[in-house]
Amino acid sequence: MLYCPAQSKMASIQLDPTLLNNIKFKTVVVTGAAGGIGLEIVRLFESHGANVVMADLERARPAAEALIATLPDPSRVIFVPANTLVWAEMKEMFKTAIKTFGGVDTVIANAGVMESHAVLDVETVDANGDLLEATEASKVIDINLKGTLSTLRLGLHHIKDNDKHPDGSRGSIVLIISTSGYFGGTGVAAYISSKHGITGLLRASQLEATKHGIRVNAVAPFVTPTSMVGGFASQWAASGLPSNTTQQVAQVVATISEDPNRRGACYLTCGPIIREMELTRNALLSQWLGNDVAQLMAGAGSFFASMGGYPLPRLEALQS
């Protein structure tokens, strides 16, 4: 597809700061809340009058409590230790949020990690010369994808019975994807695969979320100075390429969480550049693959929506 400046301009997003006025008095759950982007998300929501539940591993408690102590109203923010891969801990975290603040209005599925060793390394072998299993890659995929799935499910479960907000929804969930969920050229195989999985989760969740009146959207940050980019941060800055600040990403996350017109959207954010990716992709499908494919996909979408979703098979592999 040829580059078209008009299309690029159409996809540009100008954040509406007045949307942040809707945050006041809401209760927000943030996973991976005690570091990097998570800390700034907490700080921003609290500064606009929200109650915030900081969910993170127990070892992150000192960082979480240090932030809480600096906030204007620390009584509106609590830290609850919860591993997104431990279902019992996540259930208890949501129950604590509801017990403390009366309900949950917004969920930010922010927890995520990146591998520290090359997953596609085929040279690291054991004493017998056999290739070693990429166990770290499995952990990355579990935390990033399975942890996000659990957070999404619990968010849908606890938000679905809320009274409707003035915008007509019962609440909002934001998935943190990363641009690696769309562009995979860096070779970081486990992280990229898991983030592509969250992009799929964003798309797959729309039917169920809409049924319950819940808006599910996503944000895909580009390079942001957190621990994940520590190995190349100075070189990146010297290159002159743009990057985010954690505060900028938090602003984008909070804004899309409160935008009543956004369902199934994903904002790429990179410094001054903010682009909507999902709705743009759908709009350009005919130019990408042709009108016949666009019509085929639209027809298939309508077909499965009329059935309430894809009729699920019973496979022998899953019965054991």
Catalytic residues: 191
Tokens representing residue 132 in the block: 């070693």
Between CA 315 and CA 169 the distance in angstroms is 36
Between CA 250 and CA 73 the distance in angstroms is 19
Between CA 117 and CA 128, with CA 122 as vertex, the angle to 5 degrees is 110
Long-range contacts of 160-163 (CB under 8 A, 24+ apart): 160/212, 160/213, 160/214, 162/103, 162/104, 162/105
82 and 109 Cβ atoms separated by less than 8 Å: no
E strand map for 129-213: 171-176
Amino acid identity, residue 258?
E
Compute the 3-state secondary structure of the chain and give helix, strand, coil in percent, each to the nearest 5.
50, 15, 35
40 and 70 Cβ atoms separated by less than 8 Å: no
Most distant CA pair in the chain, distance: 65
Among 107, 87, 88, residue whose Cα is nearest residue 97: 107
215 and 209 Cβ atoms separated by less than 8 Å: yes
The HSE-up count of residue 305 (CA atoms within 13 Å, CB side) is 13
